[in-house]
Amino acid sequence: MPYENIIVETRGQVGLITLNRPKALNALCAALIKELGQALDAFEADGEIGAVVLTGSEKAFAAGADIKEMQSKTYMDAYLADFITNGWERITTCRKPIIAAVAGYALGGGCEVSMMCDFILAADNAKFGQPEITIGTIPGAGGTQRLTRAVGKAKAMEMCLTGRMMDAAEAERAGLVSRVIPAADLLDEALKVADRIASMSRPVVMLAKESVNAAFETTLTQGIKFERRLFHSTFACEDQKEGMAAFAEKRSPVFKNR
């Protein structure tokens, strides 16, 4: 499928999506978000793909929703189009893991998209922020919610009220990103991590993802119960038998993704 705003490639068992509007620092226009959804649909349906990496350029993961496209919207435009539910939340419904490999600016909707992914690997030049307040609006793709859960109220509130950006080191200390990597190595490392995930049992990876995500939606007691049910269900997977047999026999497992 020809895409205009993203580049879509496969690297072995990994799907790679690169946001590609360099002149606008990858501002997330409606056409880009639509293409991103189409690319995720295709990777989700592709049995060869076990994980996805979403990245941008070295200067910008994405500098936000496209301000020029948004500026003249009316309330009714936004309400009737269900801006931004349509499209953007496709990232959160993907059952395969998505790693955000973030270099440069991840601002506004760009920060929000990175937080919709399963985890963020940050280049040492990454900058995260929710600067919407500086242009007279507030985060609209989950920023006030996901950032607060990731870094706590104090930092999230300061960032949303002032627009202050967090650098990669602060983002790592605050728990927003899993690791910081030299910018030149970011993509290779993200692909390596994604390939490792893709080499595990696909259904068991999906169960693990579903269970971690449940932590954000439930009480501890309910979450523990949910995890236990999913844990029990892994004993119905051929791959659990294979994984444990391989351990006992001191060999590498050969997962069948069943």
Q: Which residues lie near ligand HXC (CB under 6 A)?
A: 24-25, 27, 63-68, 84, 105, 107-109, 131-132, 135, 139-141
Given 64, 109, 110, 143, the catalytic residue: 109
Given 112, 142, 174, 208, the catalytic residue: 112
Q: Between helices 220-234 and 202-214, what is the axis angle to 10°?
A: 170
Q: Identify which of residues 67 and 230 has a Cβ nearer to ligand HXC in the complex.
A: 67
132 tagged catalytic: yes
Q: How far is the CB of 36 from ligand HXC (least distance, A)?
A: 13
**Alpha helices for 56-201 (secondary structure H):** 67-70, 75-80, 85-88, 90-93, 109-116, 143-151, 153-162, 168-174, 186-198
69 tagged catalytic: no
DSSP assignment letter at 180: E
Q: Are 6 and 35 in contact (CB under 8 A)?
A: yes
Q: How far is the CB of 89 from ligand HXC (least distance, A)?
A: 11
DSSP assignment letter at 133: G
9 tagged catalytic: no
Report how far residue 233's alpha carbon sits from residue 223's, in angstroms, rounded to the nearest whole number. 15
Q: How far is the CB of 162 from ligand HXC (least distance, A)?
A: 13
Report how far residue 99's alpha carbon sits from residue 120's, in angstroms, rounded to the nearest whole number. 6
Going 66 to 69 to 72 to 75, the CA torsion angle's sign is negative
Q: Identify which of residues 66 and 227 has a Cβ nearer to ligand HXC in the complex.
A: 66
Given 27, 123, 132, 227, the catalytic residue: 132
Given 51, 62, 63, 65, the catalytic residue: 65
Q: Identify which of residues 78 and 236 has a Cβ nearer to ligand HXC in the complex.
A: 78
Q: How far is the CB of 214 from ligand HXC (least distance, A)?
A: 25
Q: Identify which of residues 111 and 204 has a Cβ nearer to ligand HXC in the complex.
A: 111
Beta bridge partners of 128: 106, 166
C-alpha closest to that of 138 among 115, 163, 166, 155: 163
The residue number with the shortest CB distance to ligand HXC is 108
Q: How far is the CB of 94 from ligand HXC (least distance, A)?
A: 18
Q: Between helices 143-151 and 109-116, what is the axis angle to 10°?
A: 60
65 tagged catalytic: yes
Q: Identify which of residues 78 and 215 has a Cβ nearer to ligand HXC in the complex.
A: 78
Both tokens of 7, joined, read 């580049």
Kindly list the catalytic residues: 65, 109, 112, 132
